[in-house]
Amino acid sequence: MRDGLIDRYGARTALPMSQRPSISVVTPCMNAAATLAETLASVASQDHPPLEHIVVDGGSTDGTLDVLRGADGVRWVSEPDEGLSDAVNKGVAMARGELVGWINADDVYRPGAFARVAAELAPRPDAEWAFGRCAIIGARGEEIRSAVTAYKNFFVRRWSLPLHLTHNFVSQPSTFFRRDAFEAVGGLEKRYRYSMDYDLWLKLGERSAPIVIDAELAAFRMQEGTLSMTGFEKQFAEHLECARAHQDGHRGAVMLNFLLSRAIVLTYRGLASVRKHT
């Protein structure tokens, strides 16, 4: 029996069919006609059966449903929901895969991402989640903010729960988790608008350390109008609230979270003021 292919890092990147964990991908969306097709294609192109892709639409009024009707092999539902967390929870409840990836309707997976994730998690049934590196792209798919990516990658390689409590450097599109672990921690908190992923990572991190994958697995699209570009200060306030909820035994790390959050918010305020007056 083939043992799989070994990449240049010495990691197994292809598994025999009998050893491949099934993967479900959940995509919440709302009026995402401009970018959804690219997201769907990035999932469909992954060489990893068994695979299912579930799209949970919140009742789009643009061309999103036309994109979904024309997509092969995608399970989808379109109905009102209570926001992003509710949509993801609904999608995971529909999922049949052992592993779950959550990618929003404007982000993309890199080729070979699923094979790499499966190869890392399959021999480690004790590991409940894994993540890799994630690029930041602009509206046309061009890489942007490479300095921010390098900053996050520095911490990704050094993950520990206390370090993660200082700030969220784990990117949601490049993270995968076992479905039963997601269910065990109660899924996403619907009360969070910006930090539901950070809260989930901390819950999983309290249960077990992740597998950190030395590969770029996805790209996150940052453009005006996305959640991460609006309500910036509210986002960091929620991050701090999440850290405080999980601070048991790590109060110093949470204090550093507060200081880092204030420094970042003040820096962005300053940059916004400069742009406004130039």
Residue ranges per domain, the chain? 17-225
**DSSP H or E segment with residue 65:** helix 64-69
Nearest partner of 129 among 205, 197, 242, 186, judged by Cα:
205
Q: Which phi and psi (to 5°) does residue 115 adopt?
A: -60, -40
Which residues are within 8 A (CB) of 150 and not within 5 positions of it... i.e. 6 or more apart?
none
pLDDT (0 to 100) of residue 277: 66
pLDDT (0 to 100) of residue 227: 47
As a CATH number, domain 17-225 is 3.90.550.10
In the chain (278 residues long), the average pLDDT of successive 10-residue segments reads 39 70 97 97 94 98 97 96 97 98 98 96 96 96 94 96 96 98 98 96 97 97 62 84 93 92 75 65
pLDDT (0 to 100) of residue 273: 67
**DSSP H or E segment with residue 134:** strand 129-137
Which residues are within 8 A (CB) of 262 and not within 5 positions of it... i.e. 6 or more apart?
none
Amino acid at 223: Q
DSSP 8-state symbol, 22: P
Rounded Cα distance, 106 and 136, in Å: 11
pLDDT (0 to 100) of residue 9: 37
User: What is the torsion angle, in degrees rounded to the nearest 10, for the CA atoms of residue 163, residue 165, residue 170 and residue 172?
Assistant: 170
Rounded Cα distance, 26 and 53, in Å: 6
Confidence (pTM): 0.89
Rounded Cα distance, 179 and 189, in Å: 16
